[in-house]
Structure 1
Amino acid sequence: MPQPNEPVLTFLNTRRSRPAKLLRAPAPSRDEIHPMLTAAARSPDHGKLEPWRFIVLQTGALTRLSKSVEKRGIAANRPAEDIAKARSQFDDSPLCVAVIEVQKPSDKIPKIEQSYSAGAVCLALLNTALASGWGANWLTGWPAHDAQFCQSELGLGENERVAGFIHIGTATTAPPERPRPDIDAITTWVDA
């Protein structure tokens, strides 16, 4: 008979991301973030490819990225409101971990499964930060998908892309609960 881990189940059923714009300092120290990265790296990884890596963005890097987002947004003719929203992600964050998907050559593991693994790492890092008592939020936005920005500002290679920016800091408020999916409406049971 399975033995449920009730505290973990309670956490998973009540977890709630904290809006990145409401996160403040202090952020986790290097010693505090390391176990979170270790836990996230235990995500499913078919073929043991490790198709992801981490870039921990601290205050100076976040300031630089905010300025670079504005320059890139203007050069790409993005609307001012899109630029402002993208900038605020880096301006407001006390610490951010960029989870980088690294597509690796494999005859056995399709690229899509490597993408799924990188997404699993993002969720694992988000949940680990929340379970550790920090506020955290998983964001992307247009800078995450702008290859020129990612290559010049994050040093990404041709086979890499941002799977997510995981912002971590001290939560200033508890967010209200939001509507959740109707499980019966999205579940099909098949017995034969």
Structure 2
Amino acid sequence: MNAVDVFDYAGVALFAATGALAASRKQLDIIGFLFLAAVTGTGGGTVRDLVLGVPVFWVEQPVYIVVCTVTAIFLYFTAHLAESRYRWLLWLDAAGLAAYGVFGAYKGLAVSGSPIIAVVMGMMTGTLGGILRDVLANEPSVLIRREIYVTAALTGAAVFVAAEAAGTGLAVAASLGFAAAFVLRGCAIAFEWALPNYRSRQGRNPDDLRR
């Protein structure tokens, strides 16, 4: 197991944990926990593999489903012990986004050889699981909240790809990519960082368009 494989398993487990925590906030039964954990843990990677045209990772290696299942069962019995489940969800999601973003970029680079495709795959892998979780749990999606999310995954993936191209070595590149994504997302959570919103402006007068 190399450095990025660790990020792969960590990303699945961390996202599965956020899915289970979302299920606890909705007071679902154990099946709800298992479903949300599995969808959140594998959603981003599934879309990535389908886009890249390679076998879906959890179909080839069912151990990932076992990881999601164990995580869901553990949190079914322990989620109530957390002082703030929503806070835990945010920070676990940040770590999952960073870890999975790095692995997505690694796999995108390995399959396509293109740095651009690698960064896009890192972004998709790191964010789609959280987006699916929010939709299924009927929570406000991260896409419509004023906070840095997708940008953090893009940044982490880009840093990984740049570091790998610079010859830093796989472990160093993965660590740098993870740190960049996690720090950026963590600052967005802690300090409410956000990109500037689009500001609506008055449109042109229709009469002017005819001139």
TM-score, normalised to structure 1, is 0.35
TM-score, normalised to structure 2, is 0.33
